[in-house]
Amino acid sequence: MRIVYVIGTRPNFVKTAPVIAAMRARCPDGRHVIVHTGQHYDRAMSEVFFEELGVPAPDHMLEVGSGTHAVQTARTMERLEPVIMTEEPDLLVVPGDVNSTLAAVLVASKLGVPVAHVESGLRSFDMTMPEEINRIVADRFSEYLFMHSEEAVGNLRAEGIPEERMHMVGNTMIDTLVALRDRIDAADSPGKLGVAPGDYTLVTLHRPALVDGPLLGETVARLAALSEQMPVVFPVHPRTRKMMEAAGGGGEAPNLLLSEPLGYIDFLSLVAGAGAVLTDSGGIQEETTFLGIPCFTLRDNTERPVTIDLGTNELLGLDPAAIATVPERLAARPSTPPQPPPLWDGHAAERVAEVLLPDYVDAARPAIASA
Ligand code: UD1
């Protein structure tokens, strides 16, 4: 078996690490080729994740970098096509909904290489989100669709995707969390920042709808106001950092702690210790749901409604003024968190490998934590 894995952005390293580990464990004699598109390229957005998650060094670096959607997608396609033609894989595995995903699916499909899409079936029903377009294309052209929630199954059925392509396996992002849980618990990131567990709000913001326009200034001002009631820890995404600098700074308040982007273990340690999380990220809605940490999402919609249904996540809308309501909403939350969704159990990637490699058996239980 020759399998190519295409990854390129921070969240997708987390989603794919356990899949690569499980596939290698099940088929150690296969050729497992890792392609890093370079959509994310800063050390803190890329290398740190390979080191912490124990992903082998990429076999191919496409160094695509940033650009408009067309430029980024086209550059990835141009540079990926010769790799696929040389490697001649039996299968291409790609996660998520970013431009690297879209490019990989198009290149592989046109070369007749079957695609396995991890984290399939998510829909925000908001076509202004570039990720929604990427999701629909990826699912339409994939041979194997791996879902993590019942809503995803329903979305794909509604689009007429044949049942035999759909595989409910659970959440590979949670596999990584489960595998690295001991190191996350030992990291004590809150202590290193001088904040008490359960006592602070952790913030992440990076979506263009929030940070590329006029809402960013008010958002930062609202965070500064919130920090007068409880400390606010805010690791700042490079995109957001650039926009804050272009807007002339802001965010100076004694209890508003801004930092560079963090590695996986330090960041998850902050999530696990947070009293509340305020975000516009997709993956963090899932990680907080698994950990039972109250999450507030600064968006009008979510492609992850299971997090809302369970009560761990609440949509605040694309509305910075809603940040002021976090303390009262937090007080209204039940003290006992719900159980995580079914199959968010640390073994999703093994189920992916069972589907993709039915003629092989597990040589050993994969352990990304041992890296
Ligand atoms: C992508 C995904 C988005 C995902 C996000 C996670 C698409 C359509 N969007 O956005 O779904 O939530 O990543 O971060 O694929 N930058 C750096 N260093 C880096 C990476 C980015 O400085 O390593 C800067 C770029 O110059 C640019 C901005 O950050 O200004 C873009 O960052 P981000 O929004 O993460 O990247 P996208 O690839 O656009």
Burial of 16 from C-beta contacts in 10 A (0-12 / 13-18 / 19+): buried
- Quote the pLDDT of residue 136: 98
242 — pLDDT class (breaks 50, 70, 90): very high
For ligand 1, the distance from its centroid to the CA atom of residue 244, given in whole angstroms, is: 15
Give the pLDDT confidence of 286-296 residue by residue, as tens digits: 999 999 999 99
Which of 10, 40, 106 maximizes ligand 1 atoms within 8 Å of its Cβ, making it the mutation to test the pocket?
A: 40
Residue with the nearest Cα to atom 20 of ligand 1?
A: 40
Q: What gap in Å lies between CA 215 and CA 168, rounded to an integer?
A: 38
- Structure tokens belonging to residue 210: 């929030």
Report helix, strand and coil shares of the chain as percent, to nearest 5.
45, 15, 40
Q: What gap in Å lies between CA 175 and CA 325, rounded to an integer?
A: 33
Rounded mean pLDDT of 82-98?
98
Antiparallel, parallel or unpaired: β 201-204 and 276-279: parallel
- Structure tokens belonging to residue 243: 């926009």
Q: What gap in Å lies between CA 146 and CA 2, rounded to an integer?
A: 20
Give the pLDDT confidence of 178-215 residue by residue, as tens digits: 999 999 999 999 999 999 999 999 999 999 999 999 99
Q: Which amino acid is at 121?
A: G
Q: Is 237 a catalytic residue?
A: no
User: Ligand 1 pocket by C-beta < 6 Å: which residues?
Assistant: 9-11, 39-42, 45, 66, 98-99, 130-131, 206, 238-239, 242
247 — pLDDT class (breaks 50, 70, 90): confident
Q: What does pLDDT average to over the chain?
A: 95
Q: What's the CA angle centered on 291, arms 305 and 268, to 5 degrees?
A: 105
Residue with the nearest Cα to atom 1 of ligand 1?
A: 98
Q: What gap in Å lies between CA 263 and CA 323, rounded to an integer?
A: 26
Q: Which amino acid is at 315?
A: L
Closest alpha carbon to 115 in 91, 134, 136? 91
Give the pLDDT confidence of 119-128 residue by residue, as tens digits: 999 999 999 9
Phi-psi region of 327 (alpha: psi -120 to 50; beta: other; left: phi over 0): alpha
Give the count of beta carbons closer than 10 Å to the beta carbon of residue 185.
13
Residue tagged active-site, from 32, 206, 237, 347: 206
Range in 203-207, 270-274, 359-363 with the lowest mean pLDDT: 359-363
Which of 9, 131, 304 maximizes ligand 1 atoms within 8 Å of its Cβ, making it the mutation to test the pocket?
A: 9
Asked whether residue 262 carries a pLDDT value surpassing 70, the answer given is yes
Give the pLDDT confidence of 148-177 residue by residue, as tens digits: 999 999 999 999 999 999 999 999 999 999
Q: Whole-prediction pTM value?
A: 0.95
Give the torsion sign (CA, 260, 298, 10, 81): negative
